[in-house]
Amino acid sequence: MSKVLLKSGYVYTKEGIGKADVLLSEDRLFLDFSENDLKNTTVYNLEGKLIVPGFVDVHVHLREPGFLYKETVESGTRAAAHGGYTAICAMPNLNPPPSTKENLSLELQAIEKDALIKVYPYGTITREQKGRGVLSDMEEIATDVIAFSDDGKGMQEEALMREAMQKAHALGKAIVAHCEDESELKPGGCIHDGDFAKAHGYIGINSASEWKQVERDLRISEETGAQYHICHISTKESVELLRKAKERGVRATGETGPHYLMFTDRDLEEDGSWKMNPPIRAAEDREALIRGIQDGTIDCLITDHAPHSAEEKSKGLSKSSFGIVGLETAFPSMLHNMVLRNPLEKEAARVDRREAKVSASEILAEGGKTVHGAISLYRLLELMCTKPREIFPIRGPKYIENGAEADIAVLNLDSVYKVDPESFYTKGRSTLFAAQEVQGRVLKTFYQGREVYDSEKGILAGDKYKE
């Protein structure tokens, strides 16, 4: 393996962001090295650029096996590398669902064959991944999965969720819950039960369908001692429940996505791209979510990357499939709309789409911890790099530090451009950021010390990278 010197860049460390040279050698990164270590080294001058641990997304849908027309392990991990990710966790709503060792082996084979970066599969909680019935073969699949989830379905039976948490706890694994109480739902619900739904005659998805299961599950987690992680938090009630649970010492964490932080139901359009589950909610929910990432209640940022075919997303709000893509837009959309500005300071509900008003040098000043918008750059990197690796056993460095694994991304914070879905590597094209101006570009992604993506050359696949 050739050595790479990343020269004169800024690096994200535990203390803050500062200038340093970084040497990549034998799947490790080094901040301390000698001139003798630099023989036969490829040098990149990164003046003004930022070097960070490879991003982590603990909530991604790769669709393989079962739905290869939507996405594959290959296309999804290429999209991830394009977005600066070096590790992702793949949700289990597949065909067949990874509920048995035999079923899981099909997903593991695809990952082994085609993954460009590290992929951690989830195992299902229930046998058919329907949130009810009987539990999956948790003991048999535990060693090969990152955690257990029935994402896409909420666990409808309290007794079964309690049994699942007890088993997961005994196996040293987390329960990762899509919280959706079906008894609270009306058939045909497609968007938040708010102003837009009422004005346009749509069946709404109420907030109680989420927070009631959050409330139940936090209680069970507290009683059993099980590690519990809440998927895609969207309501103000869920944020407050998690905040209070953490104050009591419950082993609970939570995530949210860029679309919930940037938009409200006032922004909705008659377009299938605006349909996801849970739905984009009201302004007060967005405010609670932003407060939650500001004070640490919400632990990490996810995309819920969920590709569908163009046809499946072309049927408007009521009939389109739930889900949008996000791996290739998460960092620039967050930098542009949350680090450089604060949506809560604006009277208009829509995301401010003006050219960024803060330069890279200003963002990087004082260790990247100065707050110019809703959150600092440092906080964004905590959400995307550090916290996921503290919650789950995921490879890669929490910070850029001597001797850490060489899973990193190189970022150009000054780059301003318009999002073009045709440049995506994912098979999906449904995004809320099409043609929007954003700031922040991934220049390079390194996995296991090897360059797998370059902004000019594209994907640098070469041989498949194995641990």
**DSSP result, 373-409:** SSS-HHHHHIIIIIHHHHHS--SS-SS--TT-B--EE
DSSP E strands in 257-378: the ranges are: 300-301
pLDDT (tens digit per residue) in 291-346:
999 999 999 999 999 999 999 999 999 999 999 999 999 999 999 999 988 888 86
pLDDT (tens digit per residue) in 166-202:
999 999 999 999 999 999 999 999 999 999 999 999 9
d(CA 270, CA 200) in angstroms, rounded, equals 10
Which of 124-133, 229-238, 358-367 comes out lowest in average pLDDT? 358-367
- The size of the chain, in residues, is 467
The residues facing 22 across adjacent strands are 6
Among left, alpha and beta (phi > 0; psi -120 to 50; other), residue 313 is alpha
d(CA 263, CA 194) in angstroms, rounded, equals 14
- Tracing tokens 């960024």 back to the chain, one arrives at 356
The residues facing 6 across adjacent strands are 22, 44
Residues 353-363 have a mean pLDDT of 70
Strands 408-418 and 437-447: antiparallel
Do 133 and 125 meet the contact criterion of CB atoms below 8 Å apart? no
pLDDT score for 353 = 46
Strands 300-301 and 252-256: parallel
pLDDT (tens digit per residue) in 4-26:
999 999 999 999 999 999 999 99
| Of 336 and 357, more confident | 336
Give yes or no for residue 420 having a pLDDT over 70. Answer: yes
Place 357 in a pLDDT band, splitting at 50, 70 and 90.
Answer: low
Residues 57-76 have a mean pLDDT of 98
- Which residues touch 182 (CB under 8 Å, ≥6 apart)? 131, 154, 156, 209
- Take residue 350 and report the two structure tokens written for it: 């829509």
This model's pTM is above 0.85: yes
Give yes or no for residue 347 having a pLDDT over 60. Answer: no
d(CA 306, CA 432) in angstroms, rounded, equals 13
pLDDT above 70 as % of the chain: 96
Do 424 and 386 meet the contact criterion of CB atoms below 8 Å apart? no
d(CA 132, CA 353) in angstroms, rounded, equals 43
Instruction: Indicate the SS3 state at residue 43.
Output: strand
Largest alpha-carbon pair distance within the chain?
71
pLDDT score for 466 = 40
pLDDT score for 358 = 75
pLDDT above 90 as % of the chain: 91
Question: In angstroms, how far is CA 306 from the centroid of its own chain?
Answer: 11
- The closest of 444, 438, 455 to 335, measured between CA atoms, is 438
CB-based burial label for 361 (10 Å; 0-12, 13-18, 19+) = exposed
Residues 389-417 have a mean pLDDT of 97
Do 260 and 282 meet the contact criterion of CB atoms below 8 Å apart? no
d(CA 390, CA 189) in angstroms, rounded, equals 36
To 10 degrees, the CA torsion angle through 338, 339, 345, 349? -20
Catalytic residue list contains 304: yes
Among left, alpha and beta (phi > 0; psi -120 to 50; other), residue 16 is left
d(CA 113, CA 115) in angstroms, rounded, equals 6
Give yes or no for residue 350 having a pLDDT over 80. Answer: no
The secondary element (H helix, E strand) that includes residue 230 is strand 228-230
- Among the listed residues 21, 57, 193, 304, the single catalytic one is 304
Task: Give the sheet arrangement for strand 118-121, strand by strand.
Answer: 55-60, 85-90, 118-121
d(CA 56, CA 300) in angstroms, rounded, equals 9
Instruction: Indicate the SS3 state at residue 58.
Output: strand
Average pLDDT across the chain, whole number: 95
Place 351 in a pLDDT band, splitting at 50, 70 and 90.
Answer: very low
The residues facing 56 across adjacent strands are 87
Place 461 in a pLDDT band, splitting at 50, 70 and 90.
Answer: confident
What b/e readout covers 95-118, taking b as 16+ CB neighbours within 10 angstroms?
ebbbbbeebbebbbebbeebbbbb
- Give residue limits of the domains in the chain: 54-395+415-437
CB-based burial label for 304 (10 Å; 0-12, 13-18, 19+) = buried
CATH superfamily placement of domain 54-395+415-437: Metal-dependent hydrolases (3.20.20.140)
Q: CB count, 10 Å around CB of 315?
A: 12
